[in-house]
Amino acid sequence: MQTTLSAKDIDKEIKKASSGDFVVYAYKQQSTLLRIAGNNGSELVVEEISSPKPEIRKWQEWLNEGAPGHSSWTVSRISLDNGTIKSVYNVDERAYVSAPITFPFLPTLLTTPLTLIATPERKRIGAEPLPGEMDFRPLWLPKIIFEGKEIKVAVEAFRLVWPRDESELSGKTLELYFPVHEAITYLPYWIEMNAGLNKIKIGVIDSGKGLSSPLLSLYDL
């Protein structure tokens, strides 16, 4: 029997988020740095900086220099009670905007149930065994990069059915992979959708804790 990880459970996990926690997602030729800028238990402040996929490894230095080469920079306030986006501040324009945040996955994650994928159903490495043969193939696991280094930790896989909306993900089923411990456990390190010709794979290229954003103190948020 599969276990369902409800939005309430994710809410409990993400309430453990600390200022300075961050993950960097890569999709095609773009990367998005998602940093927790604040968390008071009922509201999450999330900083998101997107840029053409760079060869950046010193994220603190990059932020200290004003994130050179970035294509967008926003700070969003998200309610932990219902997942709604309360406000979005565009750092470059120095103004609040009505445009959606760069990486809109987080509000959906807070409000949509996740179903644990049982081990026999997990993706594996190698060719499938012949009918009647035991399957000894190892589980496929995403790389978990934490503080610039790959770490070996247990990973759980979940399914999420995206709500019906106007996006390309509407009604689609996604697979999400979360590290169980040591890394940022409340955010997925791999997001995958396979629907015919529509395939999306988003992975984390780095993550960590204690990342500060000195320039945010210059703005009235």
Calpha distance 157→218 (Å, rounded): 40
What average pLDDT does the segment 181-193 reach? 93
Domains in the chain, number:
1
* Predicted structure pTM score: 0.89
What average pLDDT does the segment 102-112 reach? 78
Residue 158 lies in a domain: yes
Calpha distance 215→121 (Å, rounded): 46
Q: What is the pLDDT of residue 197?
A: 66
| 219 or 32, which is more confident | 32
Residue 221 lies in a domain: no
Residue 220 lies in a domain: no
Q: What are residue 32's DSSP bridge partners?
A: 25, 50
3-class SS shares of the chain: helix, strand, coil, % to 5: 15, 40, 50
> Each residue of 9-48: pLDDT tens digit?
777 788 889 999 999 999 888 999 999 999 998 899 999 9
**Domain extent for 34:** 4-215
Residue 199 lies in a domain: yes
- Residue 210's contacts (CB-CB under 8 Å, 6 or more residues apart) are 20
Q: Is 162 helix (H, G, I), strand (E, B) or coil?
A: coil
Residue 197 lies in a domain: yes
Query: DSSP class of residue 124?
Result: B
- Return the structure tokens found at 10: 């994710």
Residue 110 lies in a domain: yes
- Residue 219's contacts (CB-CB under 8 Å, 6 or more residues apart) are 75, 89, 91, 94
